[in-house]
Amino acid sequence: MNAASESLPWLPAPLVGDLVREHGSPLYVYHEPTLRARCREVALMMPGRDFHPSVSIKTNGNPTLLAIARQEGLRGDAMSPGEILLLERAGFRSDEIFFIPNNVSREELVFAHERGILTSLDSLDQVRLAADVFAGGEVALRINPLVGDGHHGKVVTAGARVKFGILPSEVPQALEILAAGRVSVAGLNQHIGSGFLTAERYLEAANALLEVCRGVPSARFADFGGGFGIGYGGETRLDLSAVGAGLSCLLADWERETGRSLRAQVEPGRYVFAECGAILGTVHAIKERVGIHVAGCDIGFNVLQRPVLYDSYHHIDLVPQEVSDRPLVDVQWVGNICESGDILGHDRKCPLPKVGDHLVVRDAGAYGWAMSSSYNARPRAAEVLLAGDGSVRTIRRRETWEDLLSALP
């Protein structure tokens, strides 16, 4: 736990107070230069290759931020029609959107087909549906390469016991079903999991995907997925240049052996958005319980789910109202949701918080607002964007009680 003097370089302590005074608490804040820097790293992962990087917008669907990612050369991946609408709002064209749903209705496939958006299929049953919906057209197939990775069991998305994808052994049957509908396969995609910090398993799975591509003569691209991890607890983030170099080697071998060429695609979300976002909150009550100070604030799991869902660590900075020597104590950070599991941070050494102090939760730009909810009937937080010149603009207003009531009869 850092005191104010060690706060995020782009979020100095006086600015925290100013932002909360002007925009309220809790508040999501994004730093545009950091977002642009991460986008550029992804865009430059495989120089000299036919390469289409996308951002996976399940991590952050704010159209202002997505438009910045697009300016920096990224396409967009959507998991639902709603995410397609967000990408369209951000200015993405149909040919810049890849739809990767699972277990969807015919209507959702028709939604993408009518817009000319390339769609990936995740099971033989969805292939059967698509053979009709996309008759005479093209689709992609999501492969489960049986190699997974991730920061938590709940985010490992490939492997024998995982719900996602078509197994390599099922591909011939998928091709047969699609051929009957005159549907061709434009490419194969996969996503093995989220938040890994080393490239070994990603490259192992990439190799497995390329093996499957050999048996799909119409495939023009291989999308190796996202999952690139960042250091929430100070670890070094995944080395993208090593991933890019590894993929380039595998592709060069494959192209030499097959005499074909393939476009490479990746689809990270967390890597693009996590570090450019922080949540500002306010301390409302302190209790002492068996030697621990329980600091109650307004960042419950309605605002940030990751700690409760995955036991995830997020660095928390205290921003005191006044600069004074405070004793270092053990703090448990909790929110204002009516659940005893509403814990934002366990056992953090920290200067003693006081009512009225602010806190900054770091690395909250990915799976932050996007996973937030109105649980306990709390309106969702506002989002603001901090530009490189220091200007601040609201990119999503705070929800109101009227918003909460608006869908009711």
Ligand X SMILES: Cc1ncc(COP(=O)(O)O)c(C=O)c1O
Residues annotated as catalytic (active site), given as ranges:
338
The footprint of ligand X on residues 385-404 (CB under 6 A) is none
Among positions 76, 81, 148, 227, the unique one binding ligand X when judged by CB under 6 A: 227
Q: Quick one: tokens of 381?
A: 């937080």
Q: Quick one: tokens of 144?
A: 């489960």
DSSP code for 379: P
Q: Quick one: tokens of 181?
A: 């509908």
Closest separation between CB of residue 98 and ligand X, Å?
Answer: 9
Among positions 75, 191, 293, 348, the unique one binding ligand X when judged by CB under 6 A: 191
Among positions 226, 244, 335, 351, the unique one binding ligand X when judged by CB under 6 A: 226
Does 101 interact with ligand X (rule: CB under 6 A)?
no
Does 195 interact with ligand X (rule: CB under 6 A)?
yes
Contact 282, 298 (CB under 8 A): yes
Among positions 25, 34, 56, 184, the unique one binding ligand X when judged by CB under 6 A: 56
Closest separation between CB of residue 228 and ligand X, Å?
Answer: 6
Does 184 interact with ligand X (rule: CB under 6 A)?
no
DSSP code for 59: S
Does 194 interact with ligand X (rule: CB under 6 A)?
yes
| CA atoms of 223 and 262, how far apart (whole Å) | 10
**Among candidate residues 6, 19, 31, the one with its CA nearest the CA of residue 358:** 19
Ranges of H-type helices in 124-234: 124-133, 171-180, 200-214
Among positions 101, 165, 268, 353, the unique one binding ligand X when judged by CB under 6 A: 268
* C-alpha distance from residue 245 to each of 47, 55, 189, 263, 343 (Å): 9, 20, 19, 15, 40
The smaller minimum CB distance to ligand X, of residues 100 and 213, is found at: 100
Amino acid in the structure at residue 175? L
The smaller minimum CB distance to ligand X, of residues 142 and 396, is found at: 142
Q: Which stretch binds ligand X (CB under 6 A): 1-9, 220-228, 231-239, 387-395?
A: 220-228
The smaller minimum CB distance to ligand X, of residues 268 and 351, is found at: 268
Does 77 interact with ligand X (rule: CB under 6 A)?
yes
Q: Quick one: tokens of 119?
A: 């769609």
